[in-house]
Structure 1
């Protein structure tokens, strides 16, 4: 049966958001957790029940799985963001939030049952050892890594290890038809949260952040420093699709744009204890124009930054109403390698807004409300956003802002058509473009060897042959779209994915940005701002 993206993509996207918000829910606090397991009759009852099942029940039962189900059921009665992390998932979740892992530094596909390198991490272990895109890794320390029955997580576990340890690889290089023995020394490999950065205009930089991990602030500072050296006096901070992460990192990043002693946010816990966070003297981009991009999938720490700037009348928030997560979690160890992220407080923006949407009707209703946004028309028209006068607040300069259910942007940009959004889903969620481009490069990588980065940006054009091949690739996967109506966007995405695999994500982002509606709106706003300044200057008798 044929899949039709224009009908199923909102539901699938909502599921992706739920997973993303789960991953992004790890917000850090310094206060000490109360003891979880003090003795009382309620806890004794659960312990006794598990013991009875363990020792007396007629059949063999995996009580660990029963405990997992029980914990999930208990947390499910609390709120949508109090979650359980099983022991089996803790390492991956921790690495994602820490911002690095120990490995050999490659991204790969299983291509015809063999690990094939998409690209190596620049200056990482494999890059230093001479592994190249297109190389097939056949063996690691005499363990076979090819075959249809080998799962990705098993491959990753064989390539991971302790920092400084060596792994002997057998590598086949197709371009030279040569089998090689290579030794790679494992090391820490970054998991980038600053996805891309580049100069959007002559004096405006662009930085996209995909989550708030331990390494995010340092990555941001590095990107900002490089953009300032290139002349950036203005900044676009792209927080679209960012599900959040560490609260402390969001505070530090907001501090970059706010002058000393401005309130960033405050939190309130069960006992009514209020904790406030203020801007410090450390900001590197104060009193300079900043545009923050948000959408319906921006949540948590992303909303903290948007709310802090909006409530302090700093910068311009552009996009669509954000997700609406105003709860704060703290991760607590359960003693067996698993953990729980428990909601311990609510956060409020500087004007006193809570942007948490209601979850009183349960988790299913909570995420259904996200899907309802597509049906209500609020992603197409700002007038369709429902606001309550009781949740109206004013910023110091008199701008009206609203609490409840997310951050409403200062400047609204509607969502694209179903088919435009389907193309983006094919790129981000389903990786059709990436997989197709990978297979295209596998046929002949040498055709791109003569391009420099700038030559590729200026001169390369996706021809009709490659476009038609992509259409056939997608049709073979039972996807129906009006491809020719979206020809320009598809060709841009093909070019961007080629750029990402042969150059870097920064080049890919620059190509996609050329037809990004929100970025076009930012350019319009910036041009209007410059025009207004010129008009004011012309009327000023001092000029």
Structure 2
């Protein structure tokens, strides 16, 4: 071998290894050729692939093998834990966008009324709001393309209005309150899908933040809201995680870090190999000296429980409400190569004291997801004494507080649920968005007056009349829904006003009005006074 060859031999070998790693990283590990690894597992994969190929090429009738694959994937996941799930291609984009925290578009919410696009409101900080589009505007044309009287569904309308970032769309709009046509040029841009529903001051020193899920943008939204409340004098905070089903673990960790001192353990995860990964707080916390009250209920899950568990186990703040859902499994989203994905459980997480809050799922998925009925029947939602705990799962915090694992976060201060069927049914209905279109039509009839009100005047002076309540009940009957309100008339009026306020002023107005006389918030006020 020449001196030249010897000199460059290590470089050649290194380059060859690098190329091999790159090619190996691109190989499909589900390939049925057996060329990557020849193992018993490979043969099992080949078995499934061959069966599908036989059906595809030899079966007597035409069969959609894509659907067979979907059924096979779901069948496999059915035998795993309740939270390992398959996301088919047609759902993946919507699911991914919901967790991304924003999308590119013009930023309006709308109804399609009488085959015409009617703007409910221009989304806050979105392109349409900046351009001057308002609630009640009718979008008639987009880049000269007629959008009314064409029997378009919402997806078709959205495609007409969406486009690449920084591209322009020329809209011709009819503004009913001014009885004239207006032209707008809107530059498409990033529109936030906010996960912080509301942030406002309840008293001079008590702030409130509600988070509906943990998406990519949640920590950024939360930090902005927290900073704003601190500037207004908040040295005590209500963090509302009720009905928050979770999301990205990383966002929950960053939020917990805002309340915990440097080097405090936030959580640790454990894989099936026994590998433990611990996560500690940093010195970047903005609210380490403030008092925090975390609101939870039976629908608070996963990342919500991470935040609550980290604070409770570090003797920070007070958990108020009812026992949380009980999901302590960590999922990782993995692409299946055809636009679909699987969220596969890869680890369990544990709170700082070492407790798992994952509920048992040995009796199958149906029993697991029906566990709420058990809580309802055994009286747990009405009295904390009915919460079943096991002494073998008892843990103690550094401050001496006893906490339990085995299924959810048990609050420090219990607040019962109103389990009266009519009340529960009404609350579910009101939170479902069932009055959105009714209130929009109400606003349309009274838009000139309502547009003249500022936020304070609306809160202080606007009242929903009895006739409006009767009109809403009649509206529900059109959909074969008969609602008897009896003593809940005040609650119905509050939700009607809140929904009107939401369409006029945004989500914070909705939460602010709905939270009046809220039992958990009232309990926090009592604790603050004490």
Normalising by structure 2, what TM-score?
A: 0.90
Residues 331-382 of structure 1: CA distance to partner in whole angstroms, max 9, x if unpaired? 1111112111100000000111111111112211111112322222211111
Greater mean alpha carbon deviation, residues 266-275 or residues 153-162: 153-162
290, 293, 308: which one pairs with 1:306? 308
Q: Is 1:388–2:393 an aligned residue pair?
A: no
Does the 8 Å contact 1:419/1:481 carry over to 2? no
Residues 89-130 of structure 1: CA distance to partner in whole angstroms, max 9, x if unpaired? 221111111100011101112223322111001231111222
Does the 8 Å contact 2:209/2:239 carry over to 1? yes
162, 165, 171: which one pairs with 1:163? 165
Shift of 1:457: 1.3
C-alpha distance in structure 2 between counterparts of 1:273 and 1:342, whole Å = 17
Residue in 1 that maps onto 2:400: 398
Residue in 2 that maps onto 1:250: 252
Residue in 1 that maps onto 2:429: 426
Relative distance call for 1:147 and 1:348 in structure 2 (3 A) is farther
Residue in 2 that maps onto 1:15: none
**Aligned partner of residue 119 in structure 1, secondary structure:** strand
Residue in 1 that maps onto 2:490: 488
Matches within 5 A, 1:61-460: 61-146=63-148, 149-416=151-418, 417-429=420-432, 431-460=433-462
C-alpha distance in structure 2 between counterparts of 1:333 and 1:85, whole Å = 9
C-alpha distance in structure 1 between counterparts of 2:29 and 2:279, whole Å = 27
**Aligned partner of residue 432 in structure 1, secondary structure:** coil
Shift of 1:329: 0.3
**Aligned partner of residue 448 in structure 1, secondary structure:** helix
Structure with greater Cα Rg: 2
C-alpha distance in structure 1 between counterparts of 2:208 and 2:55, whole Å = 57
**Aligned partner of residue 379 in structure 1, secondary structure:** coil
**Aligned partner of residue 171 in structure 1, secondary structure:** strand
Structure 2: tracts of 5 or more residues without a match: 1-24, 31-35
Shift of 1:149: 4.9
Residues 495-514 of structure 1: CA distance to partner in whole angstroms, max 9, x if unpaired? 11111111121122111111
Shift of 1:419: 2.4
Shift of 1:178: 2.9
Residue in 2 that maps onto 1:11: none
**Aligned partner of residue 95 in structure 1, secondary structure:** helix
C-alpha distance in structure 2 between counterparts of 1:154 and 1:375, whole Å = 46
Does the 8 Å contact 1:141/1:168 carry over to 2? yes
Residue in 2 that maps onto 1:533: none
C-alpha distance in structure 2 between counterparts of 1:481 and 1:415, whole Å = 21
Relative distance call for 1:143 and 1:43 in structure 2 (3 A) is farther
Structure 1: tracts of 5 or more residues without a match: 1-31, 529-543
Does the 8 Å contact 2:125/2:191 carry over to 1? no
Greater mean alpha carbon deviation, residues 172-181 or residues 43-52: 172-181
C-alpha distance in structure 1 between counterparts of 2:468 and 2:500, whole Å = 12
Greater mean alpha carbon deviation, residues 257-266 or residues 367-376: 367-376
Does the 8 Å contact 2:473/2:483 carry over to 1? no
Does the 8 Å contact 1:166/1:185 carry over to 2? yes
**Aligned partner of residue 176 in structure 1, secondary structure:** coil
Does the 8 Å contact 1:333/1:340 carry over to 2? yes
Does the 8 Å contact 1:471/1:483 carry over to 2? no
Residue in 2 that maps onto 1:54: 56
Relative distance call for 1:442 and 1:314 in structure 2 (3 A) is same
Relative distance call for 1:34 and 1:385 in structure 2 (3 A) is farther
C-alpha distance in structure 2 between counterparts of 1:388 and 1:154, whole Å = 54
C-alpha distance in structure 2 between counterparts of 1:68 and 1:150, whole Å = 30
C-alpha distance in structure 2 between counterparts of 1:198 and 1:489, whole Å = 21
C-alpha distance in structure 1 between counterparts of 2:194 and 2:347, whole Å = 29
Relative distance call for 1:519 and 1:33 in structure 2 (3 A) is farther
Residue in 2 that maps onto 1:19: none
RMSD: 1.9
Residue in 2 that maps onto 1:3: none
Shift of 1:175: 2.2
Does the 8 Å contact 1:300/1:325 carry over to 2? yes
C-alpha distance in structure 1 between counterparts of 2:75 and 2:374, whole Å = 25
**Aligned partner of residue 356 in structure 2, secondary structure:** coil
How many pairs does the alignment contain?
496
C-alpha distance in structure 2 between counterparts of 1:227 and 1:150, whole Å = 43
C-alpha distance in structure 1 between counterparts of 2:193 and 2:276, whole Å = 34
Normalising by structure 1, what TM-score?
A: 0.88
C-alpha distance in structure 2 between counterparts of 1:288 and 1:497, whole Å = 32
Does the 8 Å contact 1:172/1:179 carry over to 2? yes
Residue in 1 that maps onto 2:511: 509
C-alpha distance in structure 2 between counterparts of 1:180 and 1:513, whole Å = 38
C-alpha distance in structure 2 between counterparts of 1:484 and 1:48, whole Å = 63
C-alpha distance in structure 1 between counterparts of 2:494 and 2:502, whole Å = 12
C-alpha distance in structure 1 between counterparts of 2:338 and 2:473, whole Å = 49
Shift of 1:34: 12
